[in-house]
Structure 1
């Protein structure tokens, strides 16, 4: 089973007021990201607003992304559900669409015990012949992956990585120490990616990379080459973007930033709201500081 590494932008889902997915805008974004050197792309991550899209819209986003990449970089598509059967169905559908990997997300409503959480992710991994990345984000999920569950899932032949957005770098180090080579660790935008790379991470999957792909790839290369002083200087500049997103909402900020860069990605899907003028100005100022 192939291993994944590098910078994977969480793509936005360009949806107009009538609910139509703008595949042309998504294709242009994907093409530009690849041109800037990203290592892969991830539709239907958090920035892709998966929780607000219908199954038809999700399918259109995945299909458009696979078509746009044309095999140039891996597509790791998000699968998210409350019901195991739904997650399995999505995973199989995305494999049929031609994705290269699955990002598995659990949208629990009722609290679940460890064995139930583990069974959900195993079912997704058993359903496909693709590498699977576990995604845990305790700030938004009702049922998190414990260290014991992660360690057991790491032995599954198709579960190759985890993207942990807990904001706890010590937890990531615990995962690395417990699982060793059985599972790779990706950072999130809520972490400082350079720090995660320093302790053994293999890259990051995050929405801000849509806005600063060149700088994100440069940071990854500096970390891989061990140029830590330069990496930390660049990391400090990029962190200002994350501070803006934390205040004003990730998907709305990424879409606003892309609009400022000339991509007609549309507003966040309701009931989310677009940024106010002052909030858009804050995004613009953060982008200008990075450039």
Structure 2
């Protein structure tokens, strides 16, 4: 099978990270064509792009920097908040692809409210609550993760209300 593989690095949750040398070696594998990096370090992303070229296309895993990642040559982002703000996420992507950086940054700044809420609470709980607020009851996060408290849910709800 020729299924493409995405490397996913998330040092915050993995408690370790792949070095640039290891990433460059993995990029040589014919099925590995992408990396989703959650380091939030745009300098690291630029180093990966410089070392790997077109062999490894970069996606941001952090929703707070997608415009910056696209500006330096990234392909996009894969992040939880996009699940609850899909229209705004697509608009941001389209602005970036078209090189409309002023509009992209203005929208990126507006979307920051969602990221502030997500940074305060559990990511899965925020996504689940956000989907529920949007009318998609997907249940609670899987234990040991707890659902948002009523107060935390209000924070997510207010951030979403500001975007619509």
Pair 1:147 & 2:20 matched: yes
TM-score, with length taken from structure 1: 0.55
The 5 A counterparts of 1:121-270 are 128-270=1-143
User: What SS is found at the alignment partner of 1:143?
Assistant: coil
- Structure 2 length normalisation: TM-score? 0.97
Q: CA deviation at 1:200?
A: 0.3
More helix per residue: 2
Measured against aligned partners, the alpha-carbon deviations of 1:16-49 in whole angstroms (never above 9, x if no partner) come to xxxxxxxxxxxxxxxxxxxxxxxxxxxxxxxxxx
Give the C-alpha shift of residue 190 in structure 1: 4.9
The structural deviation recorded for 1:191 is: 4.2
For 1:288 and 1:258, locate their aligned partners in 2 and report how far apart those are by CA, in whole Å. 13
Please tell me the root mean square deviation across aligned C-alpha atoms, in Å.
1.0
The alpha carbon displacement at 1:233 in A equals 0.3
Q: Please tell me whether the aligned partners of residues 165 and 191 of structure 1 are also in contact (alpha carbons under 8 angstroms).
A: no
* CA positional deviation for 1:264: 1.3
Alignment match, 1:98: none
> Which structure exhibits the higher relative contact order, with contacts defined as CA atoms closer than 8 Å and separated by 6 or more residues?
1
For residues 157 and 266 of structure 1, the distance between their equivalents in structure 2, rounded to whole angstroms, comes to 38
Are 1:244 and 1:283, in contact at CA under 8 Å, matched by a contact in 2?
yes
Unaligned stretches of 5+ residues in structure 1:
1-127
Task: Could you tell me which runs of 5 or more consecutive residues in structure 2 were left unpaired when the two chains were aligned.
Answer: none
Comparing 274-283 with 189-198, which one deviates more in the overlay? 189-198
- Large movers: runs of 4+ above 6 Å: none
CA distance in 2, matches of 1:197, 1:179: 16
Q: Distance in 1 between matches of 2:64 and 2:38?
A: 7
Rg larger for: 1
Cα separation, 2, equivalents of 1:250 and 1:177:
31
Q: Does 1:280 align with 2:159?
A: no
Report deviation, 1:189: 2.5
